[in-house]
Amino acid sequence: MSRLVEQVPPGKAVKGALVVGQRAGGEEISIIYHILRGLNPGPTVWFNGAIHGDELNGPIALLQLSQKLQPEQISGTIILTPVSNPLAFAARQKNTPHDLLDLDQQFPGDPEGTLSQRIAYQLFHVFGTAADYIVDSHTVGHDYFGQPYTVTKKIRQDLQPAFEQAQKLAEIFGGAFHCSLDFSENLNEVPGNVYGFLDVQAQLQGKVAFMVELGAGGIHQPDAVRFALEGYQRLLVDLKLLSSKKNPPASKLPAISIKKRYYLYANTAGFLTFSVQAGDFVKKGTLLAEVTDLYGQKTAYRAMHDAFVLINRNNAVVETGDRLFFLGESWNDANGGKK
């Protein structure tokens, strides 16, 4: 266990700032953490937020969770980092403004690299190595709308037990969808270094790790915050860090399992009007959206397969290559059979 986490005495809650660099004017760049060490032994759980600086529902829920937790009622250790990319957070944007990198593609980080690589290194080696369980809280991008969903990633066959545990915890956390992706196949659903994701690198270190997507980006959604707060508490009860007397009721969202996802990108530009929204099920051929260019020419976008709409764009202006929808396929129904 890293020294910062280990030095918190049993029965104590410590809040502090982990310095990761300096600004030209001399100000420190630091990550604020809350570490709550229970009186009784137990596992260590790390709830991380705002690895993307404009994803706000998770950090707000983590601050509410910190208020509710009392170390004397905890068995184990809880680490909260509400805002893990303070530079992107201050800039109200996804990526770190200083090196334009996506912090979530830099793990396990580099102590002598760019700022994002250094932040990733500190997060991973100070909090990640201390944790048995890691939940990384995201939202969809700030031009998009989506209901809460979870994402678990299968990396390698020999890591299957931890992956299955992550799947079980994701279901307990709750969500409208549970995306369970096979990274052992060639999976090209998002651009960039997907093996640099925090949850991927954490699994390679033997941790149980997954992502939660907590609604829309760039705004505070009280419903999504409440959903997240209850999800974190359910996990802590399931892992026996908290007594079951504190267990919130199970999530009421439908929890459909998604095995494969794809973005539908715009090939044309102009104004977007959409016919479906996040949470909808669409049959192959269904009209999803139209884009009208400035000559008045309309282009229809239709579903290529039967799919669930995971996220939809909420920005009415579209250019070539913009993402219109994120669609999910290959699900099992509640009985485990193919629909």
Interface residues with Zn ion (CB under 5 A) are 52, 55, 138
Cα–Cα distance, 292 to 268 (Å, whole number)? 8
Residue number with CB closer to Zn ion (77 or 312): 312
3-state secondary structure of 124: helix
Is residue 34 within 8 Å of 64, Cβ to Cβ? no
Nearest distance in Å: CB 10, Zn ion: 34
Closer residue to Zn ion (CB): 104 or 230: 104
Question: Residue type at 318?
Answer: V
Instruction: Give the three-class secondary structure for 318.
Output: strand
* Residues listed for the chain: 339
**Residue nearer to Zn ion on the CB measure, 214 or 288:** 214
Give the nearest residue (CB) to Zn ion.
138
Is residue 73 a contact partner of residue 243, using CB atoms and an 8 Å limit?
yes
Strand-pairing partners, residue 146, are 311
CB of 243 to Zn ion, least distance (A): 32
Give the residue with the Cβ less far from Zn ion, 138 or 313: 138
CB of 138 to Zn ion, least distance (A): 3
Q: Could you tell me the smallest distance in angstroms from the CB atom of residue 55 to Zn ion? A: 5
Residue 167 beta carbon to Zn ion: minimum distance, rounded to whole angstroms? 20
| Continuous H helices in the chain | 3-6, 57-68, 86-90, 115-122, 160-173, 198-204, 222-238
What does DSSP assign to residue 140?
A: -
Which lies closer to Zn ion via its Cβ, residue 4 or residue 216?
A: 216
